[in-house]
Amino acid sequence: MDNYEIFVSMLGSTVRLSIPLIFTALAGLFSERAGIFDIGLEGKMLASAFAAACVAYATGNAWLGLLAGIGISILFGLIHGFASITNRGNQIVSGVALNFVAAGLTVVLGQAWFSQGGRTPQVPNGARFDPIILPGAEAMRHVPIIGPLYSQVISGNNILTYIAFLMVPLSWWVLYRTRFGLRLRAVGENPGAVDTAGISVTWLRYRALIVAGFLCGFSGAYLAIAQSAAFINNMSAGKGYIALAALIFAKWKPVPVMFACLLFGFLDAFANFMQGKQLPLVGEVPVQIFQALPYILTCVLLAGFIGVARPPKAGGVPYTKER
Amino acid sequence: MSLDNDKKPAIELVGIDKRFGAVHANRDINLTVAKGSIHGIIGENGAGKSTLMSILYGFYQADAGEIRISGAPVAIRDSQTAISAGIGMVHQHFMLVEDFTVLENVMLGAEGGQLLRRGVASARKELKRLETDYGLDVDPDALIEELPVGSQQRVEILKALYRGAEILILDEPTGVLTPAEADHLFRILQVLRDQGKTIILITHKLREIMAITDTVSVMRRGEMVATRKTKETTVEELAELMVGRRVLLRVEKGEANPGAPLLSVRNLTVKDGRGVTMVDDVSFDVHAGEIVGIAGVAGNGQSELLEAIAGIRKPFSGDILIDGKPVAGVDPARLRALGLAHIPEDRHHMGLVLKFEEYENSILGYHRDPRYGRGGLLDLDAIRKDAEEKIAKYDIRPPNPRLKTANFSGGNQQKIVVAREIERDPKMLLVGQPTRGVDIGAIEFIHRRIVEMRDAGKAVLLVSVELDEIRALSDRILVMFAGKVVGEKTPDAGEQTLGLMMAGIAA
Amino acid sequence: MSTASVPLPGWISYGVIPLINLVIAFFFSGLVVWLIGENPFEALKYLIDGALGRGDAIGFTLFYATSFIFTGLSVAVAFHAGLFNIGAEGQAYVGGLGAALVALALDRYVPWYVTMPFAVIGAAVFGAAWAFIPAWLQAKRGSHIVITTIMFNFIGAALMVYLLVHVLIVPGKMAPETRTFLPGGQLPKLDWLMAIFGLKLGPAPFNVSFIIALVMCFLVWLLIWRTRFGYEMRTLGISPSAAVYAGIPYVRTVIIAMLISGGLAGMMSLNAVMGASARLQVEFVGGAGFVGIAVSLMGRSHPVGIILAALLFGILYQGGGDLSFEMPNITRDMIVVIQGLVILFAGALEYMLRPVMVRIYQQFAGRKSASQKLAGT
């Protein structure tokens, strides 16, 4: 039973650690399926976390915080679009630039406004997304097997967690069941086909970036005002890149994205759990292995050793009409 | 539909004019296409056919002129307005999403609502109808990438019809098709015409024009030079209209003195990226001191043959021998060392790096040669001196080795390539489209150089879609059709004989 | 009419446009400063004073610039071959291991000038090794090098932390770092060079690596514009199809270009590890690899441009420290903002001004030719 409890608590932290990855990877999914590489996920996440924390602190309202996070994230997406769609600039350079701007600006503004070394002040209670106890969680607690699972993994999460898991089927539905999704997938494969069908490639790609910004805003808000209660310097800590890895690992498909994020989240949780513990036969497993594992797995996948990861064909290439 | 409306032409173009920078792509074009007819537009590469059709489909805006559909002036601002005006286009390079199904491709842009579900059902029904009405049979659930080229093209036609196109433009539709697939396409086009659709067929293949069109218009250098009823014209007349009354190319040359075979090709088969056979079991020899010309309509495997011999494309099977040594699959650098020079068909993408300065291009492919430096270093003085000598000898203008290659004219760019390849004194010379986009003066100059190579005892293999050029230069002519060498002729064979062979009609 | 095909003279493309882009980036940076409620011009004065006002300030500026020259060259070499190496950060980090191992092995026995060549080789080989796998994956398996080099930055970071925490750490100490190198494993400061200009270096770690960096600038220039391999790299970078025609082997060219790129990034560690801290520490690279991207973009991948851009970023990094001291409202992270804006405007938006410039240029050139015509009649 002891082992089971560990398992359940690990599952709980896996979920918690996966949520920002799911939002961010889904954001990347919309952008990259439309043919725009999005290295700037990390920056969008960071900027939206900062905005969410600031506004939640100032207004005392978590939802306004979330809205601000989404707004800033979309703004970053639009700048990315201006550079890489309108001006046909290099998408990777633009993403790298935005990551720097976000990393710097959050600290500079944070320090200027709050003078706490780049942190924002603690968000007051009620201004963050608190855990929701589902009905019957307390009563179920002692039911064997299902009880702990229900009360610790399924119940007791904040609203954004549930939204994240809702976003997965929703993204799938948008991508595969709506006109917008059909066009979005088409523009990432062959923008010429979209253009000759009388659809604006530019506007379509901008819309994809807006959706990506929208989703990424959730991940930042989750970091700042759900998982924690303040913005901390460099709080995304490379999660944007892990999400990017998860997106590739999932071969740019929504449901696999969720599983890849859960896998990478689990690796993170497992690493935390294993810290300082001895494994039989092996001894202490260095935590760095788990930290590197998502990236190693992604590289192995990219190398085509486990299946083929075929990125959207038109990815990274600005669209110009043929002459 | 009133009878009166029916008599109005499907399309009228009045005074269409279009420039791209210095290039005058379309000059004052007037064209009338009758409803329910197949109208061919023929012309050489770069004659302005595709530009004109792109204007009609809203890809470009004309600088001047008017477009009338069924008699009414229409401002075609983008593809969307073209589609709503009932114009559909089948592009030369298919505009399909490869990992989509046929159904998804057909629906794209005409989904019938925000959600796909209802649209899918009606699209399925409509596809069924189009299939029975026009014989356009394609499995709606097949993935595009798994379909043969002919079926992919049918999807393009379906796309246009699904959007209610009354006027269908096909841009070089048979370039990628096998003869059987092309015949299938023609049958479909005839059915479409008989059902009242108007079809514009852009091509540079005379055979197709004669086989299927009702009317034909000829374009040359951006101008519409003539329109004829197909029944009332001949291949010869059209050919003359296409190329214009150009000075007949006469190249002074004596009898050839063929020596031993230097370059041999044995049962060579080459496939393209999709696995389609482009060169099919081809065998021939090129002897020292002769020019062998390969005639053929573009897209019949000549380019792939040339690239395979030059080491750029890996052959699928068969042998290539230089001096009896097998070299199939050997890389271009080693082939150059064996004395094989190559003037490629496409100087912009292969023969030159346009962003390089002239002198840098004068060593492309030979940059490892000892005369251009010591060890790993390049000797820029030696290279520039060498480049200056070539510039003088080949009269390349402006005579400035430090000028960016992109800033030279087409003829001078080609001379840079020719000078580089010929001045190496190779044993064998591969020549692809040596005078495409080159002015008359440079053409003569380049032709003389090629003949000089022959007279110096080199083996020359010439590929050109210009039959005149082939006949003027070659000592022997091989005709390629659909990947095969369908016959060998001497240069005094009549143009008509060769033309028929090139069309795959007689061997 | 499209303006993309209109040629602009070199002094506009390589001089005026980058300069205006830079000015725009600084304009927006100033806007941020103003937003915070400080005076941008005053901030600029503190920044420049802090970077160039004293001998030790100049020393620090040049110290930072040295690192950026290495990483800028690294990005530039890959770029000439058409490859975007985002992995200079990780390659520099792992390169530090090579430098440190050499220093640890030799510092007891030989003077610094004997250690130095081995350290250069060690740093370069380890940096190159870290670039090799992404290079191989790109060349042989077609895996996008941007993604793999990003991944390798993180893998490299994990590897180095592991090594420092578990292997290289001094037994009994808490800090994850190697022991301090003896003088035989350190690169001496360039006091004498500063003294020539009558400046005192003070505590600034401006060291011999600067000279190595300048030598590398020359070698990279030689490589790219004066060697056969450089010619092959540039051909591949501009026109892959022409490279095929010319018989330039793709796999070999990609791998060698990336090895050189990784080697140059690795050498950045000479400056930080052997020149400054005299030990290998966690996260000693501190973003210099990413600054290299900005430096290379601004310097148009030319060594001279890279030196100038590296100096600019050196000034930002050093001056930024003083600025945050004088204006506590502005943290050092302002540098990161400026860096991001420079990459945005000089890199991603480099074509933004082109149409405008073409129009201005055409108007000017048109008027000139018109007046010439008038003069002719």
When CB atoms are compared, the residue of C2, C7, C226 closest to B377 is C226
User: Are C347 and A89 in contact (CB < 8 Å)?
Assistant: yes
Q: How confident is the model at residue A212 (pLDDT cuts 50, 70, 90)?
A: very high
Expressed in angstroms, the distance from the first to the final Cα of chain B is 49
What was the pLDDT predicted at C376?
37
d(CA A270, CA A247): 21
Beta bridge partners of A284: A278
Q: Which domain holds residue B299?
A: 249-339+426-507
The reply to whether B299 and B433 lie within a common domain is yes
d(CA B310, CA B332): 6
Q: ipTM score of the complex?
A: 0.89
Domain spans of chain C, in order of start: 65-197+205-290
Flag whether B133 is in a domain. Answer: yes
Q: Which helix (H) or strand (E) holds B168?
A: strand B167-171
Structural domain count of chain B:
3
Nearest Cα residue to B354 out of C244, C234, C228: C234
Give how far the C-alpha of residue A113 lies from the chain's centroid of Cα atoms, to the nearest Å: 27
| Structural contact between residues A240 and A71, judged by C-beta atoms closer than 8 angstroms | no
Q: Chain A within 8 Å of C334 (Cβ-Cβ)?
A: yes
Flag whether B96 is in a domain. Answer: yes
Mutation choice for A interface testing from C138, C282, C331 by most A CBs within 10 A: C331
Three-class secondary structure of residue B376 per DSSP? coil
Q: Would you say residue C369 has pLDDT above 60?
A: no
| C-alpha separations of B429 from B322, B323, B326, C248, C301 in Å | 12, 14, 17, 20, 38
pLDDT tens for A95-127 read 999 999 999 999 999 988 988 878 899 988 888
Flag whether B345 is in a domain. Answer: no
Domain spans of chain A, in order of start: 3-302
The reply to whether B257 and B144 lie within a common domain is no
Flag whether B134 is in a domain. Answer: yes
User: Are A87 and C349 in contact (CB < 8 Å)?
Assistant: yes
Q: Chain A within 8 Å of B113 (Cβ-Cβ)?
A: yes
Of the options 2.40.160, 1.10.3470, 1.10.10, 3.30.70, the CATH number for the domain spanning A3-302: 1.10.3470
pTM: 0.87
How many residues are recorded in chain C? 377
What was the pLDDT predicted at B3?
45
**CB within 8 Å of chain A, chain C residues 110-129:** none
pLDDT by residue, tens only, chain B of 507 residues: 444 555 789 999 999 999 877 678 899 999 999 999 999 998 876 788 888 998 999 888 899 999 999 989 999 988 889 999 999 999 888 899 999 999 999 999 989 889 998 889 999 999 999 888 888 888 999 999 888 878 899 999 999 999 999 999 998 888 667 667 788 899 999 999 999 999 999 987 777 888 899 999 998 888 899 999 999 988 778 877 876 655 455 677 888 889 999 999 999 999 987 778 899 999 999 999 999 999 987 778 999 999 999 999 999 999 999 998 999 989 999 999 999 999 999 898 899 999 999 999 999 999 999 999 999 999 999 999 999 999 999 999 889 999 999 888 888 999 999 999 999 899 999 999 998 777 767 888 899 999 999 999 999 999 987 788 898 899 999 999 889 999 999 988 877 788 778 877 765
Question: In the predicted model, what is the mean pLDDT of residues A44-48?
Answer: 96
Sheet holding B277-287, edge to edge: B277-287, B261-271, B317-322, B325-326
Which residues in chain B have Cβ-Cβ distances shorter than 8 Å to A179?
111, 113-116, 119
| Structural contact between residues B126 and B70, judged by C-beta atoms closer than 8 angstroms | no
The reply to whether B92 and B221 lie within a common domain is yes
| Structural contact between residues B316 and B271, judged by C-beta atoms closer than 8 angstroms | yes
d(CA B24, CA B48): 9
Which residues in chain A have Cβ-Cβ distances shorter than 8 Å to C297?
93
Dihedral (CA of C349, C355, C356, C361) sign? positive
Mutation choice for B interface testing from C224, C245, C248 by most B CBs within 10 A: C245
Q: Chain A within 8 Å of C340 (Cβ-Cβ)?
A: yes
User: Are C247 and B407 in contact (CB < 8 Å)?
Assistant: no
Tell me the CB-side half-sphere exposure of residue B474, using CA atoms within 13 A: 27
When CB atoms are compared, the residue of B91, B95, B116 closest to A177 is B116
Give the tokens for residue C189: 């400061």
When CB atoms are compared, the residue of A37, A111, A299 closest to C331 is A111
Chain C residue with the nearest C-alpha to that of B348: C242
Q: How confident is the model at residue C373 (pLDDT cuts 50, 70, 90)?
A: very low
User: Are C151 and A295 in contact (CB < 8 Å)?
Assistant: yes
Q: Which chains border B (3 or more CB–CB pairs < 8 Å)?
A: A, C
Q: How confident is the model at residue C129 (pLDDT cuts 50, 70, 90)?
A: very high
User: Are B79 and A197 in contact (CB < 8 Å)?
Assistant: yes
**Tokens 């796999």 — which residue?**
C251
**Tokens 């830079």 — which residue?**
C22
Shortest distance between the Cα of C221 and any Cα of chain B, in A, equals: 12
The reply to whether B42 and B178 lie within a common domain is yes
Q: Which chains border C (3 or more CB–CB pairs < 8 Å)?
A: A, B
d(CA A282, CA C197): 59
d(CA B310, CA B301): 14
Which phi and psi (to 5°) does residue B342 adopt? -145, 115
Last residue in a domain, options B386, B420, B454: B420
Q: Chain A within 8 Å of B64 (Cβ-Cβ)?
A: no
User: Are A193 and B82 in contact (CB < 8 Å)?
Assistant: no
The whole-chain average pLDDT of chain C stands at: 90
Q: Between A and B, how many CB-CB pairs are < 8 A?
A: 75
| Structural contact between residues B204 and B45, judged by C-beta atoms closer than 8 angstroms | yes
The reply to whether B36 and B105 lie within a common domain is yes
d(CA B399, CA B394): 10
The reply to whether B405 and B312 lie within a common domain is no
Q: How confident is the model at residue C360 (pLDDT cuts 50, 70, 90)?
A: confident
Q: Which chains border A (3 or more CB–CB pairs < 8 Å)?
A: B, C
Flag whether B114 is in a domain. Answer: yes
Give the tokens for residue B476: 């022997």
User: Are A302 and C350 in contact (CB < 8 Å)?
Assistant: no
How many residues are recorded in chain A? 323
Provide the 8-state DSSP code for A83: I
Q: How confident is the model at residue C368 (pLDDT cuts 50, 70, 90)?
A: low
User: Are B95 and A193 in contact (CB < 8 Å)?
Assistant: yes
Which residues in chain C have Cβ-Cβ distances shorter than 8 Å to B343?
none
**Where are the alpha helices (H) located in chain A, listed in sequence order?**
2-33, 41-59, 62-81, 91-114, 137-140, 146-148, 159-177, 179-189, 191-196, 201-222, 239-249, 254-274, 287-302
Q: Chain B within 8 Å of C142 (Cβ-Cβ)?
A: no
Which residues in chain B have Cβ-Cβ distances shorter than 8 Å to C229?
376
Give the tokens for residue C223: 């490589």
Nearest Cα residue to C339 out of A97, A77, A81: A97
Long-range contacts of C110-118 (CB under 8 A, 24+ apart): C110/C184, C111/C183, C111/C184, C112/C183, C112/C184, C112/C185, C112/C186, C112/C187, C112/C188, C114/C184, C115/C184, C115/C185, C116/C187, C116/C208
Mutation choice for A interface testing from C343, C345, C353 by most A CBs within 10 A: C343
The reply to whether B210 and B63 lie within a common domain is yes
Question: In the predicted model, what is the mean pLDDT of residues C22-42?
Answer: 91
Shortest distance between the Cα of C258 and any Cα of chain A, in A, equals: 17
When CB atoms are compared, the residue of C84, C86, C143 closest to A302 is C143
pLDDT tens for C60-82 read 999 999 999 999 999 999 999 99
Q: How confident is the model at residue C371 (pLDDT cuts 50, 70, 90)?
A: very low
d(CA B452, CA C305): 48
For residue B395, give every residue at least 6 positions away whose Cβ sits within 8 Å of its Cβ, in sequence order, or none: B415, B445
> How, if at all, do strands B223-229 and B72-74 pair?
unpaired
Give the tokens for residue C330: 């502005």
Which residues in chain B have Cβ-Cβ distances shorter than 8 Å to A194?
108-109
Tell me the CB-side half-sphere exposure of residue C87, using CA atoms within 13 A: 36
| C-alpha separations of A32 from A38, A205, C88 in Å | 7, 10, 24
The reply to whether B36 and B155 lie within a common domain is yes
Q: Would you say residue C374 has pLDDT above 80?
A: no
What was the pLDDT predicted at B179?
67
Give CA angle at C69 (C80, C280), nearest 5°: 120
Q: Chain B within 8 Å of A130 (Cβ-Cβ)?
A: no
For residue A298, give every residue at least 6 positions away whose Cβ sits within 8 Å of its Cβ, in sequence order, or none: A245, A246, A248, A249, C147, C151
